[in-house]
Structure 1
Amino acid sequence: MARTEIPTPDTDRSEFDKMVAGDWYRYRSGPELAEMTMKTQSTCRKITALFDEDRDAAQNLLLSILGSAGVGLDFRPPINMDYGSQLHVGDNTFINADFLTLGGGTITIGNNVLVGPSVRLYTPTHALDVEERRAGYEFVSPITIGDDVWLGGNVVVCPGVTIGAGSVIGAGSVVTKDVPAGVIAVGNPARVVRALEPREKDLIPLP
């Protein structure tokens, strides 16, 4: 998302309030942001440490920090987040190892989604101007992953992207713009290579 104007400093709202509203905020200036991210990251490390000895406890701890989660969520550690409350996951979704969500933008993952290993979901955009970037200005944009999407390993999804239901994103792809439903998209930047056929049975040619 292109956005160049930095607003006049607004001291009436916290940096957190600006962040969740999708406005410019200074991520290095809000003490509440640092506290929230450190707490969430610490909890993620506890989930990883707990997983082998008590999987149910690890699952419950993960559910406790998410914004919302459906039934049947399954995951493999490590899992890393800045703001667990900004992540919403549907029913029967599987998240493989080394999953990362970055920034405070809302991330919505639908039902029956397959998230491959080392997938990254990035919601922040920094200022382009050097001085403003040094000052820590950024804004966040939501990411939406539709039902039945498959994200291959090492996929990166950029701020503001929506991936339509049933689509497949090939391993290593960088998704910089919206992907429609029911297609295969691959590459950097990801591009649609073809539509999925009904009840397709042939192997999907992922890189």
Structure 2
Amino acid sequence: MTNSERMKMAAGEWYTCLDTELEDLRVRARDAVFEHNSLPPRQRGNMGPALRALLGGSGEGARIEAPFHCAYGFNLFLGDGTFLNAGCTILDTAPVRIGKRTLLGPNVQIYCAEHHREASGRQAGLEVARPVTIGDHAWIGGSAVILAGVSIGEGAIVGAGAVVTRDVAANTTVVGNPARAVMRR
């Protein structure tokens, strides 16, 4: 018996993103994101209702500024008081867990998908999903990019524009491309 592409994605196996079930789920997410991004700020509040319903979890006081984009939404989990500034993009093919009171600056990007290394695999839509975890009280600077499979520890700081390719220890500041530690508190 063959697993569905969604099941393969959830299991961290190679799957094809060209699957119709996955496309239907992405359309559902785009609809929720469109509502969130289109609502007047006072009507939207911290998060549009369709987006809040779509997310895997959203703690008390979690806020997402518009515009925002996510691939699926159901793999995104926000802690209490988490703040995502305008322009954030989260391609949540795997679980993305963002801890409480963590701040993401404008245009932060989180990518859980890794595409196939062979051109033929990429043309077939093959990718593998790796989770991303960001601990409590972290600060991710504007335009930082966090790649698949990365964990960022509690209280860590990622400098603006950094490209995070490896885990970041708790209470460590990283900067650059690729991100490297410059300070541990």
State the 4+ residue runs in structure 1 displaced beyond 3 angstroms.
56-59
Q: 1:57 to 1:154 in 2, by over 3 A?
A: closer
Residue 103 of structure 1, CA deviation:
4.3
Q: Does 1:170 align with 2:159?
A: yes
Q: Does 1:75 align with 2:57?
A: no
In the alignment, structure 1 residue 98 sits paired with structure 2 residue 87: yes
Partner in structure 2 of residue 192 of structure 1: 181
Name the Cα RMSD after superposition. 1.3
User: What does residue 150 of structure 2 align with?
Assistant: 161
Question: Is the Cα contact below 8 Å between 1:48 and 1:58 reproduced in 2?
Answer: no
CA distance in 2, matches of 1:160, 1:58: 27
Distance in 1 between the 2:170 and 2:137 partners?
A: 10
Q: How does 1:1-207 map to 2 (within 5 A)?
A: 12-28=2-18, 30-52=19-41, 54-56=43-45, 58-196=47-185
Instruction: Measure, in 1, the Cα distance between the counterparts of 2:155 and 2:47.
Output: 29
| Letter matched to residue 23 of structure 1 | E
Mean Cα deviation higher: 141-150 or 71-80: 71-80
- Give 1:19 shift: 0.4
Which structure 2 residue ranges, 5 or more long, are not aligned? none
The alignment partner of 2:173 has SS state of strand
Query: Any conservation in 2 of the 1:51–1:77 contact (CA below 8 Å)?
Result: no
Q: Name the aligned partner's letter for residue 41 of structure 1.
A: R
Does the 8 Å contact 2:47/2:65 carry over to 1?
no
Does the 8 Å contact 2:46/2:61 carry over to 1?
A: no
Q: Hey, what's the Cα distance between the residues in 1 that align with 2:47 and 2:137?
A: 25
Letter matched to residue 121 of structure 1: I
In 1: Cα distance, 2:177 partner to 2:42 partner? 39
Question: Cα–Cα, structure 1 residues 57 and 187, in superposed 2: closer, same or farther, change >3 Å?
Answer: closer
Mean CA deviation greater in 44-53 or 77-86: 44-53
Identity of aligned residues (%): 38
C-alpha distance in 2 between matches for 1:148 and 1:94: 11
Measured against aligned partners, the alpha-carbon deviations of 1:115-161 in whole angstroms (never above 9, x if no partner) come to 10000000001111121221111100000000000000000000000
Q: Does the 8 A contact of 2:89 with 2:109 survive in 1?
A: yes
What do residues 148-194 of structure 1 show as CA deviations (whole Å, max 9, x unaligned)? 00000000000000000001000000000000000110000000001
**Partners of 2:54 and 2:40 in 1: CA distance:** 16
Tell me the matched-pair count: 185
| 8 Å Cα contact 1:86/1:104 also seen in 2 | yes
Q: d(CA) in 1 for partners of 2:58 and 2:138? A: 17
Stretches of structure 1 lacking an aligned partner (at least 5 in a row): 1-10, 197-207
TM-score (norm 2): 0.96
Q: Distance in 2 between matches of 1:53 and 1:165?
A: 32
